[in-house]
């Protein structure tokens, strides 16, 4: 049956003057649907609402490449090419153009031996842009890659999910940081490598802290501190937990937590050490140890750390310590 409004093809009944629909590869079950908007289903809903950073022509070329069909290699050695429109852990549906419409093949995932997704080279481009500090372009390209590959992640190798842990950090520093939580929830079931899991745990904790979801952040920080050493590559958990103690005016606990990674810091840069300094300074001020707070502040500056402006609750601390130092020019140097 042929309909001009929905442009549907019926299995076994060709459109007037059109070809007979091809038989599906073994292992796939054909169904029928509309061709309109098939490709846009993968891209449009999950892109963040940001101004485009990549030049229009270049972006159009990238989108065209990413919209190319994927290829399924089946265990029975058959191959089918098309656009994925629905994916679950058990099934994948592939839309293949047929005349003026399309045929959708449904495959059980255990019948698939390999999935080839176009645009692999763009992952290297995104990485290069991130390393070069070109974060706006990197965020936009990673958004397109995630829109293309995100629905397929349950069926792709774990390395694909590992790659997108970098995307979480880009989103956290974007105008739409709340999207990081949804991305993490998608990625976590696909990640197995211990190092990648630690990186995702850090991103999760950072997301809650950045979004000021402290009820979720504090329990994660407690687990983080229990499992990590203060002389590691990151002081994130000590910062989050110390900041929580500072907000509750438990100043001695806050100072102790914040000082641990500062005391044990190695010559290797430690992430979130600046935040620990800020918490320690706030705790010292809370304990009326203003001279010590000033010493910590000058030490922080000497080591080249900038005040963490993303934490709004610490801005009052910066104002107070800056005023104190201005009023007391004879603050002793730190040792």
Q: Could you give the CA distance from residue 225 to residue 238 in angstroms, rounded to a whole number?
A: 6
33 pLDDT more than 70: no
- Pick the closest to residue 218 from 234, 238, 203 (CA basis): 238
Q: Biggest alpha carbon distance in the chain?
A: 93
Contact, 34 vs 8, CB < 8 A?
yes
- The closest alpha carbon to 41, from 120, 81, 3, 94, belongs to 94
Topology classification of domain 212-327: 1.25.40
30 touches 24 (CB < 8 A): yes
∠167-172-174 over CA atoms, to 5°?
95
Rounded to an integer, what distance in angstroms lies between the CA atom of residue 308 and that of residue 74?
Answer: 52
Predicted confidence (pLDDT) per residue in 269-289, tens digit? 678 999 999 999 999 999 999
- Tell me, rounded to whole angstroms, the distance of Cα 58 from its chain centroid: 23
> Considering Cα of 168, then 65, then 116, then 84, what sign does the dihedral take?
positive
CATH number for the region 1-138 comes to 2.30.30.100
Cβ neighbours of residue 65 under 8 Å, at least 6 residues apart? 118, 119, 122
CA distance 40 to 47: 11
Give dist(CA 282, CA 293) in Å, integer: 7
221-235, 260-274, 312-326: range with highest mean pLDDT: 312-326
| C-alpha torsion sign, points 39, 45, 48, 52 | positive
Report which of 62, 8, 47 is spatially closest to residue 31, judged by C-alpha positions.
8
Element (H, E) at 65: helix 56-66
Q: How many CB atoms lie within 10 A of CB 197?
A: 14
Name the 3-class secondary structure at 35.
Answer: coil
> What's the confidence (pLDDT) of residue 50?
44
Where exactly does CATH 1.25.40 map onto the chain? 212-327
Computed over every residue of the chain, the mean pLDDT equals 81
Q: What percent of the chain has pLDDT over 70?
A: 81
Residue range 3-29, pLDDT digits in tens: 222 223 333 333 333 333 444 454 554
Percent of the chain at pLDDT > 90 equals: 50
Query: Please, where in the chain does CATH 2.30.30.100 lie?
Result: 1-138
Listed residue (231, 232, 294, 241) closest to 263, CA to CA = 231
pLDDT at 264 over 90: no
The single-letter DSSP state of residue 7 is: -
């Amino acid at each position: 049956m042929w309909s001009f409004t929905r442009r549907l093809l019926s299995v076994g009944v060709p459109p007037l003057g059109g070809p007979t629909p091809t038989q599906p590869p073994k292992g796939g079950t054909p169904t029928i649907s509309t061709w309109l908007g098939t490709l846009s289903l993968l891209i449009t809903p999950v892109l963040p609402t940001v101004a485009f950073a990549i030049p229009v022509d270049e972006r159009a070329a990238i989108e065209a490449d990413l919209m190319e069909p994927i290829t399924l290699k089946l265990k029975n050695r058959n191959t089918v090419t098309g656009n994925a429109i629905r994916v679950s852990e058990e099934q994948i549906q592939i839309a293949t153009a047929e005349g003026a419409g399309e045929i959708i093949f449904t495959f059980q995932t255990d019948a698939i031996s390999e999935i080839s997704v176009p645009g692999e080279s763009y992952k290297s481009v995104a990485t290069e842009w991130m390393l070069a500090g070109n974060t706006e372009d990197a965020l936009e390209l990673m958004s397109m890659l995630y829109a293309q590959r995100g629905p397929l992640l349950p069926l792709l190798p774990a390395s694909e999910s590992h790659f997108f842990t970098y995307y979480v950090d880009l989103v956290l520093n974007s105008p739409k940081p709340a999207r990081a939580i949804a991305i993490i929830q998608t990625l976590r079931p696909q990640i197995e490598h211990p190092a990648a899991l630690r990186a995702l745990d850090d991103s999760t904790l950072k997301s809650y802290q950045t979004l000021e979801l402290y009820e979720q952040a504090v329990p994660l920080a407690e687990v983080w501190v229990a499992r990590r050493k203060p002389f590691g590559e990151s002081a994130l958990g000590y910062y989050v937990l110390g900041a929580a103690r500072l907000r509750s005016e438990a100043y001695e606990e806050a100072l102790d937590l914040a000082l641990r990674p500062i005391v044990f810091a190695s010559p290797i840069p430690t992430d979130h050490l600046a935040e620990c300094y800020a918490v320690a300074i706030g705790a010292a001020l809370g304990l009326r140890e203003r001279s010590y707070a000033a010493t910590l502040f000058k030490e922080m500056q000497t080591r080249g750390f900038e005040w963490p402006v993303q934490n709004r609750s610490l801005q009052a601390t910066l104002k107070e310590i800056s005023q104190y130092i201005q009023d007391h020019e004879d603050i002793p140097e730190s040792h």
